[in-house]
Amino acid sequence: MKMRFIWRHLFLIVPIVFLFGWGLANASEKKAEKKEQLVWDSGTVQLELEKLAEGVYAFYPTDAKGKNPKGYPVATSGGFVVGDNGVLVVESMVNKRLADQVLGFVKKVTDKPVLYVVNTSYHGDHAYGNYAFPKTAKIIQHSKTKAFMDNKEAFEADKKFMMQYFGANRGIEDVVARTADIIVDDQKIINLGNKEVEILHLGFAQTEGDLFVWVPGNKIFWTGNPVVAMPPALPWLLDGKHEEVLVTMKKVREFLPDDAIVVPGHGIPIKPKDIEFKIRYLETLHKEVKNAVEKGMTLEQAQKDITMKEFQGYALWGWVHSGVNVPNTYKDLSK
């Protein structure tokens, strides 16, 4: 259980390695400095608001426009929809400080109440801020997300992990698990008055409990972590199941009209065609790893041989592709 938990969260560790260097000699020096080494600092992240359509908004980190094209990691993105009756928020963020920024954006554009908060997964940077929203707001989650957050032991371990990589004394230690009032394991339509919002579970995409959010009247779609950011960002196959992920990503692409706006889990809005990059990557990964297995390659040989140069450019390529995706795909195809 402990190893499974750590593996699912290794995606947080990778940027640490990237951002602060590989040299062991530097490690001792940095330890002496006793400075925090964070993926991103939940105490300093600033969000910006972008209006996507009448009553529909995205928010994302202020550094996303510069970092996304280079594949560098940034903090969480989300958004909200304003209807005649009230507001639906997508993602509650990792602490009260960031949740309050979101609530500030809502108050900036409307005096209507927040009626719903959707978590696209159980990951803390998407769901911890639930407790900071009004008690009258209903939390929407997949049942697997609720089950994880209701597990006190797992949740407290998760909080410690989040503090290690997003910063201690930033309010993460104050987070109290607040879980679903409404479970969506398939599909649900939320009527906000003049706005309808569809909450969708389309299959395994990164976790067992991934939810997607669709505003059909404005053709705007939130993905959470299954689509981290624009290319060259890659899918993170943390739990393997690359064939299931591919099926789900194809469903997502087929679902979306070409002129839709897609808000990824960690970045600025993108186009549906950007998802095709991830689909092609998964298809090529499957083909290359299958070929390696059939040739009798060891995992180490496959990691070295499967370079897929046409998909490189992601700042975290070496670790995500060779260190996570190839091994997990090799494991799946070797069964």
Q: Along the 335 residues of the chain, how does pLDDT read in single tens digits? A: 444 454 455 544 444 444 444 343 344 434 433 456 788 898 999 999 999 999 999 999 999 999 999 889 899 999 999 999 999 999 999 999 999 999 999 999 999 999 999 999 999 999 999 999 999 999 999 999 999 999 999 999 999 989 988 999 999 899 999 999 999 999 999 999 999 999 999 999 999 999 999 999 999 999 999 999 999 999 999 899 999 999 999 999 999 999 999 999 999 999 999 999 999 999 999 999 999 999 999 999 999 999 999 999 998 899 899 999 999 999 999 98
E strand map for 142-273: 182-183, 187-191, 196-200, 212-215, 220-224, 261-264
Query: What is the rounded distance in angstroms from the CA atom of residue 122 to the CA atom of residue 39?
Result: 19
Query: What is the rounded distance in angstroms from the CA atom of residue 195 to the CA atom of residue 216?
Result: 9
Instruction: State how far the alpha carbon of 23 is from the alpha carbons of 13, 18, 28, 59, 73, in Å.
Output: 16, 11, 10, 36, 21
Specify burial of residue 286 (Cβ count, 10 A radius: 0-12, 13-18, 19+): middle
Pick the CATH number of 40-274 from 3.65.10.10, 3.60.15.10, 1.10.3720.10, 3.90.1720.10: 3.60.15.10
Query: What is the rounded distance in angstroms from the CA atom of residue 99 to the CA atom of residue 92?
Result: 6
| Neighbouring C-beta atoms of residue 112, cutoff 10 Å | 17
pLDDT score recorded for residue 133 = 98
Query: What is the rounded distance in angstroms from the CA atom of residue 311 to the CA atom of residue 285?
Result: 10
Query: What is the rounded distance in angstroms from the CA atom of residue 237 to the CA atom of residue 46?
Result: 28
pLDDT score recorded for residue 36 = 63
Cβ atoms of 265 and 226 within 8 Å: the answer is yes
pLDDT score recorded for residue 73 = 87
Q: Give, as one character, the DSSP assignment of residue 323.
A: I
Q: What tokens appear for 156 in the block?
A: 């407290």
pLDDT score recorded for residue 13 = 47
pLDDT score recorded for residue 39 = 80
Query: What is the rounded distance in angstroms from the CA atom of residue 37 to the CA atom of residue 39?
Result: 7
User: E strand or H helix at 188, and its extent?
Assistant: strand 187-191
Distance of CA 128 to the CA centre of its chain: 13
- DSSP per residue, 230-249: STT-----TT--HHHHHHHH
Specify burial of residue 134 (Cβ count, 10 A radius: 0-12, 13-18, 19+): exposed
What are the two backbone dihedrals, phi and then psi, of residue 201, each rounded to the nearest 5 degrees?
Answer: -110, 115
